[in-house]
Amino acid sequence: MTDTTTTTEPFLQPHFGLEEELRAIVEPVVAREQLELVQLQLVRGQHRDLLRLSVDRPGAGVTPGKGVSMAELERVNRLLGDLLDVEDNARKLFKERWELEVGSPGVDRPLTKKSHFKDVVGQKIKARLRLQKKSLLGRLDAVDDGGVIVDGERVAFADLDHAHVIFEFEKKAKPGHGKVGAAATPAGEPRAPKQPKQPKKGPRSPTSPSDRA
């Protein structure tokens, strides 16, 4: 039986239905690897489901370049692929076929928990407001337990639909010139490539241990 207990920080937007069931399965595994589940998305197709996960090291938003490694992503992908196979056979979670993608949040990292906002104070963010159906773009000035202040405007967490960081290229002087140009390489951590697909049933390929056909 899967251990669904977790002491991890709750998401600002709760998951419901199958997404919540999947969160309860995968989040303890991610936490045991000393990582954090940043985002969970379930895309349901007619015959195939896609479970897309973003994971990172806790607090990675504070120090760009110190995020999750490819080796860690591959290990989490393998662990969760095996576990979800077992759970799917027992509970029939997915449709005929399913895939699992595990990656890093990327430089435009989603802000899904209160601590994520605290990590990026001073950076530019874009937030979608729930009731007003508009987006707020600006510098994150401050964060408290009840909400955030963006360019002097206070927004309660309860009014946020979703938010993410707006990546800004570092400016640096070109050698021998006084002009300032954009850095060629982003300062934030790169997006991880898609992880091996996880179809539902069948023998495991010796060259692709996480594939299921």
Listed by start position, the domains of the chain span 1-106+190-213, 114-182
The pLDDT tens digits of the residues spanning 69-127 come to 999 999 999 999 999 999 999 999 998 899 999 999 998 999 999 999 999 999 999 99
Q: List the CATH code of the domain at 114-182.
A: 2.30.30.100
User: CA angle at residue 57 from 12 to 13, to 5 degrees?
Assistant: 10
Residue 174 confidence (pLDDT): 58
Q: Whole-number mean pLDDT of the chain? A: 82
Residues 56 and 36: their CA atoms lie apart, in Å, by 5
Quick: pLDDT tens for 44-65: 988 899 999 999 999 887 776 7
What's residue 205's pLDDT?
Answer: 34
Count of CB atoms within 10 A of residue 57's CB? 18
pLDDT band at 132 (very low <50, low <70, confident <90, very high): confident
